[in-house]
A = this chain, B = another copy of it.
Amino acid sequence: MASLTAGNRRPVRLADIAKAAGVSHGTASNVFSRPEIVREEVRERVKAAAEAMGYGGPDPKGRLLRAGKVNAIGVATAEPLSYFFDDPFARVMMASISQACDATGAGISLVSAANNEQLAWNIQSALVDGFIVFCIEGGSRLVELARERKLPFVALDLDSEDGAVAAIGVDNIAGASLAARHLTDLGHRRFAVLALPFADGRTGLVSPEQVRSATYAGTRDRLTGYLQELSRAGVDTSKVPVYETANDAASTNAALETIFAAKEPPTAILAMSDKIALVTLEWLSARNLNVPNDVSIVGFDGVPESAVSEPPLTTIAQPIAEMGRLAVKAILDSDGRISRQLLPVELTVRASSAPPRG
Assess whether A307 is interfacial by the CB under 8 Å rule.
no
Q: Is the CB of A150 within 8 A of B99?
A: no
Given contacts A85-B92, A103-B114, 8 further A-B contacts (CB under 8 A): A10-B150, A55-B150, A56-B150, A60-B124, A61-B68, A80-B99, A81-B99, A82-B99
Contacts A10-B150, A56-B151; is A127 near B61 (CB within 8 Å)?
yes
Cβ proximity bits A79-102 to B, threshold 8 Å, 1 near / 0 not? 011101110000110111011011
Assess whether A63 is interfacial by the CB under 8 Å rule.
yes
CA gap between A118 and B107 in the complex, in Å? 11
Q: Is the CB of A63 within 8 A of B125?
A: yes
Assess whether A214 is interfacial by the CB under 8 Å rule.
no
Across-interface contacts of A109 in B (CB, < 8 A): 72, 107-110
Assess whether A57 is interfacial by the CB under 8 Å rule.
yes
Nearest B residue to A7 by beta-carbon distance? B336
Q: Is the CB of A60 within 8 A of B127?
A: yes
Question: What is the copy number of this chain in the assembly?
Answer: 2
Cβ of A345 to closest chain B Cβ, rounded Å: 22
Main DSSP-derived SS at the A contact region = mixed
**Residues of chain A whose beta carbon lies under 8 Å from any beta carbon of chain B:** 6, 10, 54-58, 60-65, 68, 70-72, 80-82, 84-86, 91-92, 94-96, 98-99, 101-103, 105, 107-114, 118, 122, 124-127, 148-151, 336
Contacts A61-B64, A110-B110; is A81 near B98 (CB within 8 Å)?
yes
**Sampled A-B contacts (7; CB under 8 Å):** A56-B151, A58-B124, A64-B65, A80-B102, A81-B98, A102-B112, A108-B109
Nearest B residue to A125 by beta-carbon distance? B60
Q: Is the CB of A102 within 8 A of B81?
A: yes
CB within 8 A of A98: which of B82, B101, B105, B336?
Answer: B82
CA gap between A82 and B92 in the complex, in Å? 9
Nearest B residue to A104 by beta-carbon distance? B114
Q: Is the CB of B124 within 8 A of A127?
A: no
Across-interface contacts of A111 in B (CB, < 8 A): 107
Q: Is the CB of A127 within 8 A of B56?
A: no
Contacts A65-B61, A102-B113, A107-B126; is A95 near B71 (CB within 8 Å)?
no
Q: Is the CB of A110 within 8 A of B98?
A: yes
Contacts A64-B127, A105-B118, A107-B111; is A57 near B149 (CB within 8 Å)?
yes
The 9 closest A-B pairs by CB, nearest first: A56-B150, A81-B98, A85-B95, A108-B110, A60-B125, A82-B95, A82-B98, A85-B94, A81-B102
CA gap between A80 and B58 in the complex, in Å? 25
Q: Is the CB of B85 within 8 A of A91?
A: yes
Q: Is the CB of B82 within 8 A of A102?
A: yes
